[in-house]
Structure 1
Amino acid sequence: MCKVAERQMLRPSFVPPPAIRVLRDLTRYRVDLLAARTAEKQRVEKLLEDALIKLSVVVSDPFGASGRAIMAALIAGERDPAVLADLARGSLRSKTARLTEALTGRFTEHHGFLLTQMLRRVDGITADIATVQARIDAQMGELAPAVARLDAIPGVGPVAAQMILAEIGTDMSRFPTPGHLASWARFAPGVSESAGRPKGHAGSGHGNPYLARILGEAAVSAGRTDTFLGERYRRIARRRGKNRAIVAIGRSILVIAWALLSDEQAQFVDLGPDYYAARTNPERKVRQHVRELQALGYSVTLNPAA
């Protein structure tokens, strides 16, 4: 039997219970709706670029209150850049001069017609997303405690917790170890070879795209927190790059999820951002720095500070 077929036989089959199947259908549809809305927003930005309206250059969120007010005015027929810029709200009013320059374009009635249709679709999809999310929340029931435990993981909010639960389920008995879960999810560092020489490869392979996406987003969010996972993300990103950091932290989130779902009494406890510093041996760190300097051709003499 070939190794590929053998590995596939060793991978645990997963037929989720009805509650998980329902949740999975809903969460995946929500992801698809988000992708559709993102695509429509990109069409809007491309249309504005065609009209020489550089709204996204000044406004961080063109679909926020200020951006929507400006686009509504453009559709209504307003073309004066100064008048359009005056519709800005909040902190954006301090950028009136830049906004006036960005809104100096050639927006026509044709652009207005297309923009109307696109914004209508964006609003329609947004309403659909809210409806589906409300349905997801209503379907939680006995799954709510598990979602609450996953929500405690840095970078994992309520929506991400629902999505992770929908993809991996609640029964961790089919995974002997968290490593088995990471392997099943195909979210773990791999190894490739070229000319007989091993080359590091950080990636999730051809696994579950819905799970990989939410784990990646959660890993990036965790990297912005002042937590153990946040510090670990930053350490790996500095040494190996952001892609490897995302894979490593995504796998860590899976390991934590396995532990929390394996024991209903388990609660997440953060080790803290100073975990590595507290465990670092000062003498070992000194030897490491000395070796690095010697490798660069320096002669090192250590003198204790006063």
Structure 2
Amino acid sequence: MEKVNLHAAGIDIASGVHYVAVPEGRDDTGHVKSFGAFTADLEAIADWLTACKIETVAMESTGVYWIPLFELLEQRGFHVILVEPSQVKKFRRKTDVLDCQWIQTLHTFGLLTGSFRPEDRIVVLRSYMRQRETLTKDCARYVQRMQKAMEQMNLKLTGVISDICGVTGMLIIGAILDGERDPHKLAALRNEKCKNDEATIALALQGNYRQEHLFSLRQSVDMYRVFHQKMVEVDREIESYLSQFEDKSDGQPLPKLPRSKQRSKRVNEPKFDTRKLLYEMLGVDLTEIDGVKGHSALEIVSEIGTNVDAFPTEKHFVSWLSLCPEVFKSGGKAPKKGRSPTHRSGNRVAQSLRVCAQTLLRSKCALGAFGRRIKSRDGAASAVTAIARKLAIIIYNMIKTGRAYKDIGAEAYDARYQDRLIRNLQRRAEALGCELIPSEAL
């Protein structure tokens, strides 16, 4: 085989020691060395690679231990690729010394492909967004504990209001923790927009107020408020960081959303104007796409960045998201129905797109009509994946070309699909020597 990367090195990553292999003959003391994991050791790795005239480095993605070394080597000018362990684990004996040599050999012959990692300024935004996601999950945990404590006291508040963390819920819980026990006084704190009346809410607030459950409720509420305050701090950092990106809107004002897409922000969504900041970053408004809201668009951009140049075509992008089926063929025959599932993946962009897709199954847009057609044929799960794939293609083309998205509507989509069915039937009839005549002509 032809050697592709003549100046390649391989690194086996661990928590406390890194093994580095370079081509033989680059150092008189040996072509494999071990280094510690302290910052001084990482600097020593970079110095040794420079002395050995290394240009490109491959390393396995092992936990989070690869991140400091990856960033340091990039700063020192090396071309670094991050490799999935599945690429290098075949045909090897498992020792750290042999691992780094095997990685170096594979990289020399160009047999490794690097994992996608956005540019450094997007990595910073991604870290903020992932920290925010962690805080959101922590908030959800303490909401569940609040619900548990109230259920143990037989307070059925969750059954009479839609959100116990809303205005009505927090006012009632706060009054309970302050010592109020009269259900009618507690019910009088309801917001005028609540669907249930005071009598219904008062009935749900007749419970057994035990001290241990009240203590658990108080601590859960305190922790919920702490994590929400931390989310506010993260939001300030994200808003400040987004404002540092160059403005690609060319002075064009942000189009106003139609009334059908306008809604108030949810509790866990950022309070700043994500739509405006993303429009300035990208030059296009991703929220024009049905099902994609400001927070979802921010999550997607924080993972892929402001350009999609790393993916040559939309098919490469969809494949990276694992939103296309894995085709299994045997003997040249196509797979049977139901035998080509999508590859299981924890891709965060794909997860966000699936959440967006779930909101479109009843929508009166073209994507909703498409999803309902797939749902009637293959089921809801396949429909969600199919819509998520469509969303990925739309987002890819919007970012790549800078063109806005225009929805044709469900009726227009159904009409196009019906025309396509008729043309297919006409071609099949012609192939059989028949003529297809519309019923109106009879």
TM bin, normalised by shorter chain, reads 0.7 to 0.9
Which residue identity lines up with residue 315 of structure 2 in the other structure? G
Distance across 2 between alignment mates of 1:228 and 1:215: 16
Match of 1:70 in 2: 172
Contact 2:149 2:214 in 1 (8 A): no
SS in 2 for 1:218: helix
Match of 2:378 in 1: 240
> Which range is displaced more, 116-125 or 88-97?
88-97
Match of 2:396 in 1: 258
Match of 1:177 in 2: 313
SS in 2 for 1:160: helix
Distance across 2 between alignment mates of 1:50 and 1:183: 47
What per-residue deviation string (whole Å, max 9, x for no partner) do you get for residues 44-86 of structure 1? 1111111111111111111111111111121122222222222
Distance across 1 between alignment mates of 2:283 and 2:352: 14
Match of 1:270 in 2: 407
Match of 1:98 in 2: 200
Q: Equivalent pairs: percent with the same residue?
A: 30
The Cα shift of 1:280 comes to 3.8
Contact 1:164 1:211 in 2 (8 A): yes
Which residue identity lines up with residue 86 of structure 1 in the other structure? A
User: Which residue, 229, 241, 260 being the options, matches 2:367?
Assistant: 229
Match of 1:217 in 2: 355
SS in 1 for 2:163: coil
User: Which residue, 291, 304, 316 being the options, matches 1:168?
Assistant: 304
User: Which residue, 268, 279, 284 being the options, matches 2:416?
Assistant: 279
Number of residues paired by the alignment? 284
Give the 5 Å matches for 1:124-139. Answer: 124-139=226-241
The Cα shift of 1:239 comes to 3.4
What per-residue deviation string (whole Å, max 9, x for no partner) do you get for residues 234-268 of structure 1? 3333433322222111111111111112123x222
**Cα distance change of structure 1 residues 96 and 280 upon mapping to structure 2, 3 Å threshold:** same
Match of 1:113 in 2: 215
User: Which contiguous aligned blocks of 4+ residues in structure 1 show a shift greater than 6 angstroms?
Assistant: 302-306
Give the 5 Å matches for 1:2-13. Answer: 5=87, 13=115
1:60 and 2:162 correspond: yes
**Cα distance change of structure 1 residues 149 and 50 upon mapping to structure 2, 3 Å threshold:** same
Match of 1:30 in 2: 132
> Which range is displaced more, 170-179 or 40-49?
170-179
**Cα distance change of structure 1 residues 254 and 304 upon mapping to structure 2, 3 Å threshold:** closer
The Cα shift of 1:225 comes to 3.9
Contact 1:191 1:201 in 2 (8 A): yes
Instruction: Give TM-score, length-normalised by structure 1.
Output: 0.81
Which residue identity lines up with residue 291 of structure 2 in the other structure? G
Instruction: Give TM-score, length-normalised by structure 2.
Output: 0.57
User: Which residue, 79, 85, 96 being the options, matches 2:181?
Assistant: 79
Distance across 1 between alignment mates of 2:232 and 2:360: 25
Match of 2:345 in 1: 206
1:186 and 2:322 correspond: yes
**Gap regions ≥5 residues in structure 1:** 289-301
> Which range is displaced more, 254-263 or 106-115?
106-115
**Higher relative CO (CA 8 A, sep ≥ 6), structure 1 or 2?**
1
Contact 1:178 1:259 in 2 (8 A): yes
Distance across 2 between alignment mates of 1:96 and 1:238: 43
Instruction: Give the number of the structure whose alpha-carbon radius of gyration is greater.
Output: 2
**Gap regions ≥5 residues in structure 2:** 1-85, 89-110, 247-277, 330-334, 426-437
Contact 1:16 1:169 in 2 (8 A): yes
**Cα distance change of structure 1 residues 188 and 47 upon mapping to structure 2, 3 Å threshold:** farther
Distance across 2 between alignment mates of 1:79 and 1:177: 63
